[in-house]
């Protein structure tokens, strides 16, 4: 695991106010290394150029093991969303009305990322009124560094 | 023609414990109670059991169970992956083992204390690595959130509404109201209760979610020939299938090219290929209902209607007794008990024996399915 993504806080459900950290595997680690630089990159086959997500060792189209990480424009559309309510882990229950969304990327609509729609990169997860969520709404990526040092992509409305 | 599973084996016995939010006995004791009851139902001695099949998230293992109930030498045992997706596959694995002579008396079971035990999604340590790294940090924490995401997209694409989801919840509740073993026996549901219920994960409310339950169930599988000498009327395993579709990702199928066609579609193709019957011949269905949206998705997957027509299919009482496809006649996971779908198998058997508390007149064929949204399995049972 890359040192930049080592969780530094306790994720036990009784540990209080911490949001969860990504815990990458070998295949996913580069994604988080790029987000730490403010870049959204998707694993791409070096044999046939097909993008794939989630990351994995081998291309499902041509079985090549050679891959690189292609930079995305960071633009997309909301494919779907939910507004979770308790029972939730304490850190999320403390953010009533937060959303989880799936974004399809403008560059590659078959690549979809789970994320959050927020009012600004560093705003709380519940900083957008749930009533403003709409399937198809154009969004753009922003990057937020969690207290433990991990940077996650978040999403802002193109037309706030 | 090579060997076939078609009607080669039968479910000869079923057993279960009470269902409750909290039961005092251990999961192991509950498992043994259900298995002993199922063997007694079949009229088969425990010493004759030589095969076991279970599915993951089961904490009791066959070594302990075999010892406790007094099984003989065991020559086949299997454990199917992906939790609730494996319920029907346990019977399929036993049927395959028995049809090919690897065993003669098989037991499948599920024992659970989820009503009083911890919720698995709270264990974030085991969930954060692959694939949780792509979902959990964003607060997509629970199965209800994961399926809610698909449900919202489904509603958007096909004009499905909360009333369609209510139709599902109501059919299950109405059947549970007829079933004294159900947790929701004598607890009717109204549209107003549904529409004003608290949210769990918008667009899913409390009544779109199954009941976390303590309880255990088991069934006994033997050859068709042997079943004809057993205590109960045999219920034949006509066809069985598992399904793990191309590019599937468990629970969060959002990365599939077509996320709204889940594992049901794959299992269904294989199930019907191995059957003399089609969806039009199914008299009653027990469809895995951890969440209401799984029903319209499954109705489409198993071919009861076309793509995008699953919600409309639920209209006009179609899922009620006397409707086009009576559903989850014991109450299902939504209103009888959520025991990872095993109650659907036992209820399918009761329907084909003619002993359900919500009996479909002359039911001769029953579809039973396992968890949709994860690698799944299904059974086509006939009397």
- Cβ-nearest to A53 among B123, B153, B255: B255
The answer to whether position B85 is within a domain reads: yes
State the CATH number of the domain containing residue B365: 3.40.47.10
Tell me if B202 and A82 make a contact (CB, 8 A cut-off).
yes
Q: What percent of chain B has pLDDT over 90?
A: 93
- What gap in Å lies between CA B52 and CA B64, rounded to an integer? 11
- Cβ-nearest to A89 among B124, B152, B203: B124
Average pLDDT, chain A: 90
- What gap in Å lies between CA A17 and CA B134, rounded to an integer? 20
Tell me if B247 and A60 make a contact (CB, 8 A cut-off).
yes
Judged by a CB distance cut-off of 8 A, whether residue B258 touches chain A is: no
Judged by a CB distance cut-off of 8 A, whether residue B142 touches chain A is: yes
Tell me if A12 and B125 make a contact (CB, 8 A cut-off).
yes
Read off the pLDDT of each residue in B316-326 and give the average, rounded to a whole number.
98
Asked if residue B2 has pLDDT above 80, the reply is: no
Read off the pLDDT of each residue in A48-54 and give the average, rounded to a whole number.
97
- Cβ-nearest to A102 among B125, B133, B149: B149
Provide the pLDDT confidence category of residue B360 given band limits of 50, 70 and 90.
very high
The answer to whether position B150 is within a domain reads: no
Asked if residue A38 has pLDDT above 50, the reply is: yes
The answer to whether position B154 is within a domain reads: no
- Which residue range is the domain that position B62 belongs to? 9-116+210-382
Judged by a CB distance cut-off of 8 A, whether residue B250 touches chain A is: no
Q: ipTM, 2 decimals?
A: 0.95
To probe the interface with B, which of A7, A82, A152 has the most B CB atoms within 10 Å? A82
Read off the pLDDT of each residue in B349-359 and give the average, rounded to a whole number.
98
The confidence score (pLDDT) of residue A131 equals: 96
Judged by a CB distance cut-off of 8 A, whether residue B149 touches chain A is: yes
pLDDT in tens, B151-195: 999 999 999 999 999 999 999 999 999 999 999 999 999 999 999
The answer to whether position B86 is within a domain reads: yes
CA-based nearest distance A48→chain B, Å: 17
pLDDT in tens, A93-143: 999 999 999 999 999 999 999 999 999 999 999 999 999 999 999 999 999
The confidence score (pLDDT) of residue A2 equals: 38
The answer to whether position B181 is within a domain reads: no
CB pairs < 8 Å spanning A and B: 125
The answer to whether position B142 is within a domain reads: no
pLDDT in tens, B61-113: 999 999 999 999 999 999 999 999 999 999 999 999 999 999 999 999 999 99
The answer to whether position B74 is within a domain reads: yes
Read off the pLDDT of each residue in B291-299 and give the average, rounded to a whole number.
98
Tell me if B132 and A23 make a contact (CB, 8 A cut-off).
yes
Tell me if B124 and A20 make a contact (CB, 8 A cut-off).
yes
SS3 A44: strand
- What gap in Å lies between CA A99 and CA A96, rounded to an integer? 9
The answer to whether position B286 is within a domain reads: yes
Instruction: Give the residue numbers of B marked as catalytic.
Output: 288, 338
Domain count for chain B, please give it.
1
Read off the pLDDT of each residue in B265-270 and give the average, rounded to a whole number.
98
């Amino acid at each position: 695991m890359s040192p930049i993504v080592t969780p530094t806080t306790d994720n036990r459900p009784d540990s209080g106010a911490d949001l969860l950290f990504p815990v990458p595997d070998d295949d996913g680690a580069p994604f988080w290394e790029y987000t730490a630089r403010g870049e959204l990159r998707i694993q791409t086959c070096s044999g046939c150029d097909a993008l794939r997500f989630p990351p994995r060792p081998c291309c499902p189209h041509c079985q090549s093991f050679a891959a690189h990480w292609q930079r995305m424009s960071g633009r997309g559309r909301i494919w779907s969303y939910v507004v979770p309510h308790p029972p939730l882990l304490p850190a999320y229950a403390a953010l009533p009305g937060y959303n989880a969304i799936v974004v399809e990327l403008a560059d590659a609509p078959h690549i979809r990322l789970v994320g959050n729609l927020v009012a600004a990169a560093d705003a709380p997860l519940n900083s957008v009124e749930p009533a403003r969520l709409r399937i198809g709404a154009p969004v753009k990526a922003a990057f937020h560094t969690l207290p433990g040092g991990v940077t996650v992509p978040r999403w802002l409305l193109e037309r706030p | 023609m090579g060997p076939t599973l078609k009607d080669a084996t039968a479910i000869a016995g079923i057993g279960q414990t009470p269902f409750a939010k909290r039961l005092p006995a251990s999961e192991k004791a509950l498992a043994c109670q259900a298995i002993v009851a199922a063997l007694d139902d079949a009229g088969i001695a425990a010493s004759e059991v030589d095969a076991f099949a279970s599915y993951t998230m089961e904490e009791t293992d066959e070594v302990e169970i075999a010892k406790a109930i007094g099984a003989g030498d065991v020559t086949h045992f299997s454990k199917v992956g992906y939790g609730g997706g494996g319920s029907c596959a346990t019977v399929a694995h036993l049927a395959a083992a028995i049809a090919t002579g690897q065993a003669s008396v098989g037991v499948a079971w599920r024992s659970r204390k989820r009503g009083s035990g911890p919720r698995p999604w709270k264990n974030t340590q085991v969930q954060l690595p692959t694939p949780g790294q792509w979902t959990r940090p964003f607060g997509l924490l629970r199965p209800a959130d994961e399926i809610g995401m698909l449900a919202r997209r489904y509603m958007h694409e096909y004009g499905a509404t909360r009333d369609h989801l209510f139709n599902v919840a109501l059919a299950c509740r109405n059947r549970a109201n007829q079933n004294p073993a159900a947790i929701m026996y004598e607890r009717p549901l109204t549209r107003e209760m549904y529409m004003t219920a608290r949210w769990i994960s918008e667009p899913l409310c409390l009544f779109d979610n199954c009941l976390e339950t303590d309880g255990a169930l088991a069934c006994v599988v033997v050859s068709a020939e042997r079943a004809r000498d057993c205590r109960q009327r045999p219920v034949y395993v006509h066809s069985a299938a598992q399904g793990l579709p191309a590019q599937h990702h468990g629970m969060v199928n959002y990365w599939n090219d077509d996320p709204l066609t889940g594992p049901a579609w794959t299992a269904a193709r294989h199930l019907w290929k191995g059957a003399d019957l089609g969806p039009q011949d199914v008299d009653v269905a027990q469809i895995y209902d951890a969440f209401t949206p799984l029903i319209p998705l499954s109705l489409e997957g198993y071919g009861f209607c076309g793509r995008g027509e699953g919600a409309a299919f639920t209209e006009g009482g179609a899922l009620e007794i006397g409707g086009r496809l009576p559903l989850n006649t014991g109450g299902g996971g939504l209103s009888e008990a959520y025991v990872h779908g095993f109650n659907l198998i036992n209820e399918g058997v009761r329907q084909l024996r003619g002993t359900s508390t919500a009996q479909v007149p002359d039911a001769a064929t029953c579809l039973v399915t396992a968890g949709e949204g994860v690698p799944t399995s299904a059974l086509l049972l006939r009397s």
